[in-house]
Amino acid sequence: MLLPPIAALLVLGALVAYYPSIEPATAAYDQGLIDVGISLGSYIRAAGTGYRLELPAAVDQVLRRDSFDTVYYRVLGPGGEVIAGDDGLPEPASGSSAVVVAYDTAYNGQSVRAVAVPAQCGLESCRVLVAETLVKRTRMARDILFSTLLPEMLIAFATITIVWFGVKRGLGPLARLSEDIKARSPGDLRPIDPAGTPEETRPLVSALNGLLEELSQASRNQQRFLANAAHQLRTPLAGLQAHTELTLAKALPAEVRAELEQVHQATIRTARLANQLLALARAEPGARGNAAELNLKTLAEGEADAWVHQALARDVDLGFELDWAPVQGDAFLLREALANLVHNAIEYSQRGGRVTVRTGRHGVESYIEVEDDGPGIPPAERERVLERFYRVPGTSGTGSGLGLAIVREIAVGHGATISITDGTGAASGTKGCRVAITFPHG
Amino acid sequence: MRLLIVEDDAPLASGLRRILEAEGHAVDVTSRGEQAVLAAAQERFDLVILDIGLPQMDGFEVLRRLRAGSPEKNGPMPVLVLTARDAVDDRVRGLDLGADDYMVKPFAMPELTARVRALLRRSQAHGGPRIVHGPLALDTVARRAFLKNEPLERAAREWAVLEVLLGKVEKIVSKEAIIQAVAGWGDDLSPNAIEVYVSRLRSKLEPAGIKIRTVRGFGYMLEEFKGS
């Protein structure tokens, strides 16, 4: 990005150095031509009514010989008539014949540099034109150009190098800062420690910290709102459930009982949906709670009571194969993810079906999986069942289609992967489904 | 039994009252934490059902005052905490403050009544040596068991296993927990040995309608007695 302006500066610098140095050199060469003109003028002699040039052949030879260039001359009488020399060498376009004029012209198809010098012939004034080709002048111009360009280029190269390293060094801390910010997990709203950052970036860091503080404030507000919303929803739902169950315990006409059963089921579904929406909101990045050292085995054991009662209500045999499985995570969210997996497995099992919850480790990765021997999920649907509100077509039951979406949100939030495979009984004809969450080492 | 419900949501409070009265308890209801503290200071309740989200004095504060009050006769009053919040901290905080059990709203009534029965049984066990579970009665002092008023033969380890299960009706007791409770009798016990004791207990108790359910890979659960 710095190269074009530096290159432009280099060219400008070369030009600025070139023209002042080429002018005196050109003047010096011109002076040489003028001297030749003056010498030639001294060989003009009166001859009858006119003049002639009495130039010894040896002198002519010397005059015309130059190590680089060819020299031309032409001597004009007072009336402008040609006295001697190379006919056709052009006169200057302007300027009095009484003064020395230097000019560029062409002769014999070549560019030449010429001078017109006045000469005394008796009482009158003659004019001598001397011209030479441009070989040594071109060579000189080239030499001057090189001698100015070379140091310019060295300086430019040095400048670029210095600027490059300087900028890199100067921006290094900024680059490190941005790496640090990039490396953060999306939910990490802790302020950046200004101690580790360079002086120049402090205002930036403190502005960022201000923003982070506002974000985590907003996140805390959201958490408070969620806690309140949970309370506001759950308490009346608990009352509704209490009264429907009380009434259902009485002797009721069959129709009324059937209607009330519907109300009861709807109440339970609403309560579950409220829980799921809250869980989904909590799993949002930034709203995430505290990560702690957890053991999936302990987590599963803690919830086993509730799950076993759910399973008993549907006559499902719920079993456990629990091994040590340490993870870093949010206990509330992981519990919710597990609850959703187990709930789904129980919900989609036949009466008398089997559901097994497993925790353990594959190498360094902890996992939890829930397997059932229900109808299974066709491979083509396995990706889509993780989407919010998606339900496998033709599925019975009363799910909202949120359960697995919540599991996925929570898994992703923990850097874990989720996989859906056939149950172990698949080969022997029963279908079944196995959903596993595998956590990264840590 | 005498129960106190502290709940500010009127429909829920009345529902709870009717359910627990149907179970044969005498039930008082208040919607204010301050009144609950006053009532508990004057009378002995066999169980307090306490909502955390109360206006003004919240359930945590009520619980703290109940536990900080003058030493209670016949042991501390059992407290079952109800909450609409599910934050883990709340659960831990409630239990740290001395709650005996914890339920998140909304809940199914059979689950509530089962927990209430379990808590009442536990508080009775504090007071008296007899544990009754349907037709089964345990005299924890004389270390004798009666089934339908007939003395029940049992080995010492079977007794220990039965005692552990009876202490946690409707809750899963892991095999490890049973081994730890029974280990007082000396030599090492394998999980297989526990299975043997449980199956012997089953053969004696199931004819009387008392069911011990196996939770595969985990442990056992003594089910609520539902009649033979």
Which residue in A264, A422, A407, A419 sits closest to A336, CA to CA? A407
B43 and B149 in a single domain? The answer is no
Residue A5, exposed/middle/buried by CB under 10 A (0-12, 13-18, 19+)? exposed
**pLDDT greater than 60 at residue A427:** no
CATH number at residue B174: 1.10.10.10
- pLDDT tens column, A317-364: 999 999 999 998 888 888 889 988 999 899 888 888 899 999 999 988
* A391 touches A413 (CB < 8 A): no
Q: Judge: B171–A301 Cβ closer than 8 Å, yes or no.
A: no
Euclidean distance between CA atoms A59 and A84, whole angstroms: 14
Do residue A330 and residue A434 come from a single domain? Answer: yes
**One-letter amino acid of A432:** G
Model pTM score:
0.60
Looking at the predicted structure, is the pLDDT value of residue B172 above 70? yes
Domain closes at, from A263, A287, A311: A287
| A306 domain-assigned | yes
Between B201 and A400, the higher pLDDT residue? B201
Strand ranges, E, within A228-351: 292-295, 317-322, 326-329
Among the candidates B100, B127, B154, a domain finishes at: B127
Q: Give the minimum alpha-carbon distance from A254 to chain B in angstroms, rounded to a whole number.
A: 22
| Tokens, residue B17 | 């009252």
Of residues B51 and A380, the one with the higher pLDDT is B51
Q: How many structural domains is chain B composed of?
A: 2
Q: Which residue has the higher pLDDT, B127 or B46?
A: B46
Decide if A171 is inside a domain: no
Q: How many domains does chain A have?
A: 3
DSSP state letter for B183: G
- As a whole number, mean pLDDT of residues A1-11 equals 77
Q: Are residues A266 and A204 in the same domain?
A: yes
Burial class (CB in 10 A: 0-12, 13-18, 19+), A279: buried
Closest CA to A341 of A397, A402, A396, A391: A402
pLDDT cut 90: percent of chain B above it: 26
Distance between CA atoms of B200 and B221, rounded to whole angstroms? 15
Q: Which of A76-90, A152-166, A219-233 has the lowest mean pLDDT?
A: A219-233
* Within a domain: B111: yes
From the list A251, A283, A243, A244, the residue with the least C-alpha distance to A404 is A283
Measure CB to CB from residue A234 to each of B10, B16, B106 and give the nearest one.
B106
Q: What residue has token string 């129980």?
A: A346
pLDDT at A442: 60
Q: Is residue B227 part of a domain?
A: no
The boundaries of the domain holding residue A228 are 200-287
If you average pLDDT over residues A262-280, what whole number do you get? 83
A246/A310 same-domain check = no
Quote the distance between the C-alpha of residue A155 and its chain's center: 32
Give the residue-averaged pLDDT of B142-158: 81
Interface test with A, best of B60, B172, B222 (most A CBs within 10 A): B172
Shortest alpha-carbon distance between residue B61 and chain A (Å): 18
Q: Domain range spanning residue B11?
A: 2-127
- A273 and A315 housed in the same domain: no
Residues 6+ positions from A273 with CB-CB distance below 8 Å? A400, A402
Is A267 touching B (CB cutoff 8 A)?
Answer: yes
Asked whether the beta carbons of residue B106 and residue A237 sit closer than 8 angstroms, the reply is yes
* Residue A363: partners with Cβ closer than 8 Å, 6 or more residues away: none
Q: Is residue A170 part of a domain?
A: no
> Could you give phi then psi for residue A165, rounded to 5 degrees?
-65, -40
| A25 against A255, higher pLDDT | A255
* Per-residue confidence (pLDDT) for residue A280, from 0 to 100: 74
**A308 with B221: CB under 8 angstroms?**
yes
Evaluate whether A331 touches A294 at the Cβ level (below 8 Å).
yes
- Domain presence at residue B228: no
